[in-house]
Amino acid sequence: MQPLSNRAKQVDKKPMTLAERAYLPAIFQGLSITMRHFFMKKPTIRYPEEQRPFSPVFRGLHVLKRDEQGRERCTACGLCAVACPAEAITMVAGERKKGEEGLYREEKYAVSYEINMLRCIFCGLCEEACPKAAVYLQADKMAPPRFERDEFIYGKNRLVEPVSPDNRSKRGIQLTEEQAQQLRAKMDAQLA
């Protein structure tokens, strides 16, 4: 048959030597590659004990902010969930009861608020969509490694920022700066 181009090469079909039939050259070649990689610098790290520096454009992990009086800012309007391209945010809205004015800023609040960190692509669109400045991404934090998938569903217990002693004082327990520092030290000691 006439070849379509002149690039085809005729190869010899030599009979294999005894060593080739025993696969010895191929085995030694494979072992040499293995040994070469054994002494090369490792491209991987022992995460999470070691961590690489964050990229300058890394947006980080979510936090649900409180206002200056320690009340939750989120009103469960759902705009962040609508904006989320990964459909990672779910929430249940509730009505604030009498006496809860110090807990929630608006009459409507999020009874539950969850972000699925396995779905999230950390694009930051939820932060941009929020009209109440309630959800932010913290550039210095990331979701720590876990063994169970359930543990990547972050609820309010892990998303709402903790109340600081200073903010508590603004919610009725009037503390001096010294008392606030003592309370902060006590809380730090309990957490240690």
User: Binding site for [4Fe-4S] cluster: residue ranges?
Assistant: 74, 77, 80, 84, 120, 123, 126, 130
Q: 161: closest CA among 189, 187, 136?
A: 136
Instruction: Give dist(CA 163, CA 134) in Å, integer.
Output: 14
Give min distance, CB of 160 to ligand SF4, in A: 11
Instruction: Give dist(CA 120, CA 88) in Å, integer.
Output: 6
Q: Give CA 126 to chain center in angstroms.
A: 14
Q: Return the residues of window 6-25 that contact ligand SF4 according to CB under 6 A.
A: none
Residue type, 169: S
Q: Please, which residue, 158 or 169, has the CB nearer to ligand SF4? A: 158
Give min distance, CB of 86 to ligand SF4, in A: 4
- For residue 144 the two structure tokens come to 């720590």
Give min distance, CB of 113 to ligand SF4, in A: 7
Q: Return the residues of window 97-126 that contact ligand SF4 according to CB under 6 A.
A: 115, 120-126
Q: 105: closest CA among 137, 62, 76, 136?
A: 76
CB-CB contact of 93 with 107 (8 Å): no
Q: Return the residues of window 57-96 that contact ligand SF4 according to CB under 6 A.
A: 74-80, 83-86, 88-89, 91
Instruction: Tell me: does residue 132 bind ligand SF4 (CB under 6 A).
Output: yes
Residue type, 140: D
Q: Please, which residue, 78 or 94, has the CB nearer to ligand SF4? A: 78
Footprint on this chain of ligand SF4 (rule: CB under 6 A): 74-80, 83-86, 88-89, 91, 115, 120-126, 129-130, 132, 134-135
